[in-house]
Amino acid sequence: MSTQSQTALIHRFNGIPFTTRSSPDLLKSLDAFDAREDDILLVSYPKSGTHWLAQIIMQIYTPKVTLTSPIEFGDISRVEELNNLSSKRIIPTHLDYNMLPSNFKVKQCKAFYIIRNPKDTAVSMYHYYRDNPNLPTIDSWTVFLELFLRGDVVCGSWFDHFLSWEEHKNDRNILFLFYEDMKKDLPKVVKKMSVFLGVNISDREIKEICEKSSFTEMKSNVEKENSDPNHTVCALTSNRKLIFRKGAVGDWKNHFTPKENKMFEEMFKKKMKLSELAKHIIY
């Protein structure tokens, strides 16, 4: 990664790398953010399936809610923009638990946290770094993997992000979901989400939601520009075309060498030794 591009595009806040699309002034002001009891948070480490989840939530609620851009995206005017929304807000964020505005915690707002096998997340993020002009240049997969394992990528360490949220796995207002479960049995996950949200939907509606949320459908909608090309739920780009790549489980096997896999597994075991949720992550 060239030092020059790194310096131009990334800054650190609380030790975590952010792109300059999240201004320091905005990040500083977030803790005073005025959450509302009926806000819904959509939380993820980047490249874990945030857009997929957003697509489902919007259909469960349709059309009574507003899906905002990520809370940490933009400059200081972002706070006012969110405050001016009169409808119920679905607010995406890649912030770790410690950086989440405290008002969301006090008001016990409902939150989804989506988890994806970190090996696939790393691969997805690697391609995103290569395609996204807002992110620093990366020389190779091997270099990227080292940065990822060190937490020297946007939004910091996958492990720290996950662990900060996992501490709250028993909070009744947070629902943890796995990308791989969604791939395996989406209707079951959609049902679980609707029950959590307290919204009644029929089996026929669940079927329709799943059809409209398939990878093929979502990707082709972007290509046909049936969806707003400039509305993403990722603070790292506004270009929806950069989001949908393969949408697969296990693509890591096409990237990791046996040595890299061993290194990853060792780090995973060390960092996740006390984690309950990590046992559910599919390799």
Instruction: Tally Cβ neighbours within 10 Å of residue 209.
Output: 23
231 interacts with ligand A3P by CB under 6 A: no
Say whether 256 sits in a helix, a strand or coil.
coil
Work out whether 118 is an interface residue with ligand A3P (CB under 6 A). no
- Beta-carbon neighbour count of residue 205 at 10 Å? 16
CB of 120 to ligand A3P, least distance (A): 6
Residue 282 to residue 278: CA distance in whole angstroms: 9
Minimum CB distance to ligand A3P, residue 88 (Å): 21
Select the residue whose beta carbon is closest to ligand A3P and give its number: 247
CA gap 247, 225 in Å, rounded: 19
Could you give the string, one character per residue 14-53, with x where binding to ligand A3P holds by CB under 6 A and - elsewhere?
------------------------------x-xxxxxxx-
Residues 91-122 as b or e (16 or more Cβ within 10 Å = b): bbbbbbbebbbebbeeeebbbbbbbbbbbbbb
Binding ligand A3P (rule: CB under 6 A), the pick from 234, 235, 272, 281 is: 234
8 Å CB contact between 192 and 175: yes
Contact call for residues 20 and 158 (beta carbons, < 8 A): no
Number of residues interacting with ligand A3P: please give it, by CB under 6 A.
21
Neighbour count for residue 136 (Cβ, 10 Å): 21
Out of 174, 213, 222, 255, the only residue in the binding site for ligand A3P (CB under 6 A) is 213
Among 103, 244, 261, 275, binds ligand A3P (CB under 6 A): 244
Is 94 catalytic? The answer is yes
Query: Please, which residues bridge with residue 76 across strands?
Result: none
Binder among 124, 134, 157, 194 for ligand A3P (CB under 6 A):
124
Positive or negative, the CA dihedral 225, 50, 89, 159 is negative
Q: Does 246 bind ligand A3P (CB under 6 A)?
A: yes
Which residues, 59 to 98, sit near ligand A3P by CB under 6 A?
none
**111 and 43 Cβ atoms separated by less than 8 Å:** yes
Nearer of residues 194 and 232 to ligand A3P, judged by Cβ: 232
Give least dist CB 28 to ligand A3P, A: 25
Q: How far is Cα 164 from Cα 84, in angstroms, rounded to an integer?
A: 30
Binding mask 168-207 for ligand A3P (x = CB under 6 A): ----------------------------------------
Out of 78, 89, 119, 127, point to the residue binding ligand A3P (CB under 6 A).
127
**In the complex, which residues of this chain contact ligand A3P (CB under 6 A)?**
44, 46-52, 124, 127, 213-215, 218, 234, 243-247, 251
Give catalytic residue positions. 94
